[in-house]
Amino acid sequence: MMPVTAPASAYRFTGEDSLRTPALVVYPERVDRNVAATLACLGGDAARWRPHVKTAKLAWTMRRLVERGVRHVKCATTLELRTACEAGVADALLAYPVAPPHIPRVAAIAAAHPGVRVSAIVDEEAAVSAWSGTGVGLFADVDVGMHRTGRDVADLAGLVSLARTIVGAGVRFRGLHGYDGHVSSLPAGQARGLVHAAYDALWEAAAAIARAGIPVEEVVTAGTPALPHAAAYRGFANADCLHRVSPGTVVYNDTTSLAELPASLGYAPAALVLTTVVSRPTRDRITCDAGHKAVSADAGVPTCAVLDRPDLVAAKPSEEHLPLLVHDPARRPALGERLLLVPRHVCPTVNNFDHAVLVAGGRIVGVEPVSARGHDAPI
């Protein structure tokens, strides 16, 4: 995993020794910088960005996006959907194929926020009828190579049939949704070729649906790994539909996104975990209080990088414990010393915390709830 060599001094703040750890720390100035970097990548057009707010999680962050003109989002849970609607977005896509018990909940959220255009996704005809009469629009979910959900992008007849079924049920057909996260581990040149080939196929699908007399309003693609490739794609430029990209990790960034995206874009970590050294059992190993209940381990080990300390390498965590291997015993941190961690996967890491400490200008400026953590109540 690539070490993060940003100077720790730029992230240190007055009052950090008073915080109980592990603590999620969000830096508004760096959030703003990352938002600006994404908009620059899209030619300054905020209408082209539909960020996935599974990363943002905080209503505070969602409001920050809205203030900067980013008013179209996508999400994966009804709690994220409600939080985004309350934060003032204009358009929210629930980009997860929800089961029937969730559909009344989505409809209720949409009814409670009539100023927000709410949509969902489906990938087969049998899922359509439950949405009839809800006021919620539908995107056709398309598999462009991730092989997780969605109808195969090459199945033009099936996609046309699905669009017809949506319209026939009296539901507004919004467009096509395809997630291309499968390119994250590929070299940039190979990834770009795969992304653009998938977009060519999506364009063919959109054109086939349009020829069937059904307008395609929007095509949604591009998580964080595909962002630069999506920004370089010109195939939708002269189409009647709008092409939006949906990277969400870029709002905060993590070691994975910083390794995947070109450094020239100017992204920086904006959400770190403050941790404390709680044990120093050997000269070459210490333990901090940021195990996998704080810093997510879903992306593998190491789970994080220690900011500006490449000599400290995260080993396998347990629930509350994060061992760090000390490669330079002369620089072994002291007992009680505070370290700043950059997660390998920031999205589920943010979801591990109830609160986020906001730090600007080297001082604590607030504490915000992680509003969309977890899920709605099951009943």
Looking at residue 1, its pLDDT comes to 61
Local confidence band at 64 (pLDDT 50, 70, 90 cut-offs): very high
Q: Report DSSP state, residue 52.
A: B
* Helix, coil or strand: residue 203: helix
50-54, 223-227, 263-267, 336-340: the lowest-pLDDT one:
223-227
- Of 41-55, 180-194, 201-215, 223-237, the one with minimum mean pLDDT is 180-194
Mean pLDDT of 16-31: 97
Do 354 and 370 meet the contact criterion of CB atoms below 8 Å apart? Answer: yes
**Domain boundaries of the chain, sorted by first residue:** 8-25+265-369, 50-246
152-174: average pLDDT? 97
CA dihedral 287, 288, 289, 291 (to 10 degrees): -70
Residue 340 contacts residue 16 (beta carbons within 8 Å) = no
CATH superfamily, domain 50-246, is: Alanine racemase (3.20.20.10)
312-347 pLDDT, tens digit per residue, is 999 999 999 999 999 999 999 999 999 999 999 999
Q: Is the pLDDT of residue 56 over 60?
A: yes
- What superfamily in CATH does domain 8-25+265-369 come from? D-serine dehydratase-like domain (2.40.37.20)
